[in-house]
Amino acid sequence: MPKIQLPHTDLFYAPHLPSGAHHTVLLIHGAGSSRLTWPAELRRLPNTAVYTLDLPGHGRSQPQGRQTVAGYAQDVLDFIEALSLENVFVLGHSMGGAIAQQVGLAAPPAVAGLILLGTGAKLSVSPQILVALEEDFETAVDLLNQYYWG
């Protein structure tokens, strides 16, 4: 799995680059997840170049995450620029969708559109999860897994 050095971080990513690809899709996972969250069928779409990222603090990317969605969005914009991607459809789930929206607001010419799944402009966290994080980490992980695709 390749790693790319960006201005503020190093990102691991997995490219699927079939010859003659008609479209390019960049998959952005949600909080606490990784590129492997996406089903294999989506990561290997036919006739489509697909890039899946491990955001900072997730998967194989560096252990320090970002404090803001805007920080993650800047990493995604830097990734698009570093690889000279064009006409990219940015697909984001949950926090990844919030990141995708920030990328869309920046509106670089390289972005062709957004695909948003289970997300919003502002994301709230269930109070149950916050309490569980303080009292019982294993329960918090179970709750996150239960609600993830909710």
Q: pLDDT tens for residues 124-149? A: 767 777 777 788 878 777 777 776 65
3-5 and 10-16 beta bridge pairing: antiparallel
* Residue 58 and residue 89 share a domain: yes
> Which domain range does residue 32 map to?
3-119
At 101 the pLDDT is 96
Q: Tell the residue number behind the tokens 């969708």, with chain if given.
A: 97
Q: What is the CATH number of the domain that holds 7?
A: 3.40.50.1820
pLDDT at 100 over 80: yes
Domain count along the chain:
2
* Residue 133 and residue 105 share a domain: no
Three-state secondary-structure class, residue 92: strand
Nearest to 23, CA basis, from 74, 70, 87: 87
At 131 the pLDDT is 79
3-state percent breakdown (helix, strand, coil) of the chain, nearest 5: 35, 25, 40
Three-state secondary-structure class, residue 13: strand
Band (pLDDT 50/70/90 cuts) for residue 121 is confident
pLDDT digits (tens, 9 = 90+) for 33-74: 899 999 999 999 999 999 999 999 998 897 788 889 999 999
* Residue 127 and residue 58 share a domain: no
* Residue 9 and residue 43 share a domain: yes
* Residue 77 and residue 47 share a domain: yes
At 143 the pLDDT is 73
